């Protein structure tokens, strides 16, 4: 067994384009998912009516269905049911945005609900305008408490993009798999793929741990 670094150097551009695709898809789904997450979060918090029921259903649906099944369904079944042509990357972004929206909605909701009740009642009875309550009383502690969960969700999302290789989106795993098949250097390319993911995700998991640690030290619970 030999580990051939030369072949990795030779195919460096392909692997790099895989990294770019992974980052692009993660970023786009995170942005679109955040919009969806905010909508779903307030839909669920608003308490009654059809919006509440629908938000709850959508959140539960996309949190329960396996990511792989969701990605595969959006890619292979949705275009058949609709007069809709999606490239594999577009269907990937659609599926991952829905997935992120559901998870981010729950994280946001937990953050908002974690704000101390006494502080809310105090600001209400002081007659502070609601806009100010949001900006000054709710958002600062909520953001602090959500940040570990949001960072770990981001690393989860990067890991989920590896599933996109099954619908031939040219991200890191797909490139490694294809290059491995072409050159029979599976060991080199798959190890490189794993190392690339590690390089992206390890700082994130460190950051999540750090922000969690800081939270506990401040005694905010």
Partner 1 sequence: MSAIQEIIEDSGGPVIRWGLLLLCLAVVGYALTNANWHTIRGLDFSAVWIYRGALFNGLLVTLGLTLIAAAFGILAGTVLAVLSQSPVGPVRWLVAGYVEVVRDTPLMVQLLWIHFALPIITGYNTTPVESGMLAIALHAGAYFTEVVRAGIQSVPHGQWDAAYALGLPMWTRWTRVILPPALRIVLPPLASLTISFFKGTAILSVLQIGELMSVAGRISNATFRPVEIFSFVALVYLIIGYAFSRLAGRLERYMARSEGRAS
Residue whose CB is less far from partner 1, 10 or 76: 76
Residue whose CB is less far from partner 1, 66 or 219: 66
Residue whose CB is less far from partner 1, 27 or 135: 135
Reference 149, options 102, 107, 199, 195; nearest CA is 107
User: From the CB of 212, what's the least distance to partner 1, in Å?
Assistant: 11
Residues in contact with partner 1 by the rule CB under 8 A: 1, 39, 42-43, 45-52, 54-55, 60-61, 64-70, 72-73, 76-77, 80-84, 112-113, 115, 117, 120-121, 124, 130-131, 133-134, 138, 155, 158-163, 165-166, 172-173, 176-177, 180, 186-187, 190-191, 193-194, 197-198, 201-202, 205
Residue whose CB is less far from partner 1, 137 or 150: 137
Q: Say how many Å lie between the first and final Cα of the chain, rounded.
A: 52
Tokens found for residue 177: 């798999």
User: From the CB of 10, what's the least distance to partner 1, in Å?
Assistant: 18
88-111 as b/e, with b when 16 or more CB fall inside 10 Å? bbebbbbbbbbbbbbbbbbbbbeb
Distance CA 94, CA 215 (A): 34
Distance CA 201, CA 219 (A): 27
User: From the CB of 159, what's the least distance to partner 1, in Å?
Assistant: 4
Tokens found for residue 108: 């946001």
């Amino acid at each position: 067994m030999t580990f051939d670094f030369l072949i990795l150097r030779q195919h460096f551009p392909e692997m790099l384009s895989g990294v770019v695709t992974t980052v692009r898809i993660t970023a786009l789904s995170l942005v679109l998912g955040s919009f969806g997450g905010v909508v779903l979060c307030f839909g669920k918090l608003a308490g009654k009516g059809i919006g509440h029921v629908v938000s709850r259903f959508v959140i539960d649906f996309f949190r329960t269905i396996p990511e792989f099944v969701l990605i595969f369904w959006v890619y292979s079944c949705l275009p058949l049911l609709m007069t809709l042509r999606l490239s594999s990357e577009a269907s990937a972004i659609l599926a991952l945005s829905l997935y992120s929206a559901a998870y981010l909605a729950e994280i946001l909701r937990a953050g908002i609900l974690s704000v101390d009740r006494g502080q809310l009642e105090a600001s209400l009875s002081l007659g502070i305008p609601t806009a100010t309550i949001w900006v000054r009383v709710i958002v600062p502690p909520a953001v602090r408490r959500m940040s570990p969960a949001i960072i770990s969700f981001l690393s989860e999302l990067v890991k989920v993009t590896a599933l996109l290789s099954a619908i031939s989106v040219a991200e890191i795993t797909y490139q490694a798999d294809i290059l491995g098949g072409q050159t029979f250097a599976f060991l080199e390319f798959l190890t490189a793929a794993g190392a690339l993911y590690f390089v992206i995700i390890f700082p994130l998991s460190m950051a999540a741990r750090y922000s969690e640690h800081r939270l506990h030290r401040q005694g905010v619970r």
